[in-house]
Amino acid sequence: MIATASSADTLKAASTAPVTVSKYPNGSSLPAQTPTTTMPKVNAVTPTNRVLVILVSFQDSAIKQTEASWNQKIFSATSKSVRLYYAQATNGKRILNPAKETYGTANNGVVKVKLNRNHPRTGTAIDTRNQYIVRDALTAANPYVNFAQYDTNKNGRIEASELHIMTIVAGQERAYSSAAPSIWGHMWGMASNITPKLDGKTFFTYTQFGEMHGTHMATIGVIAHEFGHDLGLVDLYNTSGTGSGLGTFSLMAKGAWGIAAGDSYPGQTPILLDAYSKVKIGAVTPKVVNTTVTSTQTLYAGSTILRINTSSPKEYFLIENRQFIGFDKALASKVFKGGLAVYRVNTNYGGNQTVGKQLVTMLEANQGIVGYSQLNSSSSLKSDALYYVGTGSRGKAQQIYLNNRTNPSNRLSNGAYPNFSFRVTTKPGASMSVVLGPAYPVSGMTLNRSGVYIKTNTSFQMIATITPTNASNKGITWTTSNSKIATVDAKGKITGKAVGKATITAKTQDRGIKDTVLIQVTK
């Protein structure tokens, strides 16, 4: 739900436009926007990400919440916070820790400043006025922070991989409320003629948010989403056309507004990252599955991602297990049941733009049941997009198959069908299983003889018949029980070596189906 600024919002009076602005739309709609095309590279995966939170007041608008409240909102390890969210979303690979500072409660990562001017009231616009807020807030915070200590690569610039700069601005978050004064939550970068030079260091990217959502303190969803951009993640809602991209299934789409049972406001329980974002951020290393042979794979919610490569070097599939656990409890209000999520990734696109032009597309299990894609139509009905064994939202058995004949199918963008099939075998649960293999798996194999008499130094060609005749992988492995009596080559040609008996076994590469022939060698 982040989108780039429209033409009216573009950077003004800057010598460079360092990063395309990522702007958070409101929770009620997903307006057409220009896609984000330039984002920071994904930072090196380190356990600790230092964050400096600057609370910014103005002459006519003051911060309402306390330093301690904002420390809890961003850094709490026990209550819902941005830190707790990323600890869970990344399996502990990204831990947010407060920056070192001497303001108020020292080293809690929060500094309060007051600028000697009125609130700029940027509202829906994002321009250099937002950058000037960051510039002046950093300058005002400088007496309390030694910025030089964070330039670990010694390039003279503080980057997000070294220190995340987060500004909380007095007034409203425009993505939530139209009341003034407000700013719109976003991630951007300061132009070279705007960034201050403090302790000998300049600055680059930052995030910025309004402090209030109406009458209550801002929830963490918008903040977590924009922080994802500062980590290098991209938008996965559709930014410039129809459809909702990944919709509620990812923080980097509409999931930032997640609300779980017991919550009072949207964004209190942002939904977890999708499989693509988890892999990109280093939360999970995917297991690449060889689908030329049939195998049963077990997926654990939050920790297992399967990858299926295709003949197209820029397209592949990811599979993960999504259950109503942890921050994904917020899925329960939008999704019928937990299950396996299947995504088609097309790296010809840098993000999700419109239907048919998406970096990450979810293959919705119930598409063939309801007759259309709920994500592509931006349907407000409860989603039933996950694969599981059981009765779906329409009172029918949920789809458990994915191949080149199902709806949806595994069709690639060029019209080709990859050679794999998918069948989920379990009900929704923290551990689920799926059978992956060729599009047309082997169902049987028989040999043309059950016994053969041959003489020493002579040969006999065995013939194996595989069913079905259009099986995708007809590979066979041949072995002998006694190579001193009889040998067999890779094509099933048997050669007698010495008088005696041996058993030749043929085993299909797909599914491991076996048949044997008894060989008796004579003089």
- Give the pLDDT score at 241: 79
pTM equals: 0.87
Task: Give the C-alpha separation, 300 to 327, whole Å.
Answer: 16
Does residue 29 have a pLDDT over 90?
A: no
Average pLDDT over residues 378-391: 95
Fold designation for 444-522: Immunoglobulin-like (2.60.40)
Confidence class for position 57, pLDDT limits 50, 70, 90: very high
Average pLDDT over residues 471-481: 94
* 114 CB neighbour count, 10 Å cutoff: 15
- Give the pLDDT score at 20: 56
Average pLDDT over residues 171-175: 97
Q: What distances in angstroms separate CA 301 from CA 49, 426, 428, one per listed residue?
A: 25, 13, 10
- Give the pLDDT score at 32: 27
Give the residue ranges of DSSP H helices in 340-459: 367-370
Relative to beta strand 339-346, strand 421-424 is unpaired
Task: Give the C-alpha separation, 187 to 130, whole Å.
Answer: 10
Task: Give the C-alpha separation, 255 to 245, whole Å.
Answer: 11
- What is the average pLDDT score of the chain? 92
Give the residue ranges of DSSP H helices in 128-179: 128-141
Secondary structure class of 274 (helix, strand, coil)? coil
**pLDDT tens-digit profile of 401-412?**
999 989 999 999
Does residue 509 have a pLDDT over 70?
A: yes
Does residue 262 have a pLDDT over 60?
A: yes
**pLDDT tens-digit profile of 120-161?**
999 999 999 999 999 999 999 999 999 999 999 999 999 999
Does residue 40 have a pLDDT over 90?
A: no
Q: Which of 382, 35, 379 is nearest to 238 (CA)?
A: 35
Does residue 11 have a pLDDT over 50?
A: no
How do the domains of the chain map onto residue ranges? 16-23+40-232, 275-437, 444-522
Radius of gyration for the alpha carbons in the chain, expressed in angstroms and rounded: 29
**pLDDT tens-digit profile of 281-315?**
999 999 999 999 999 999 999 999 999 999 999 99
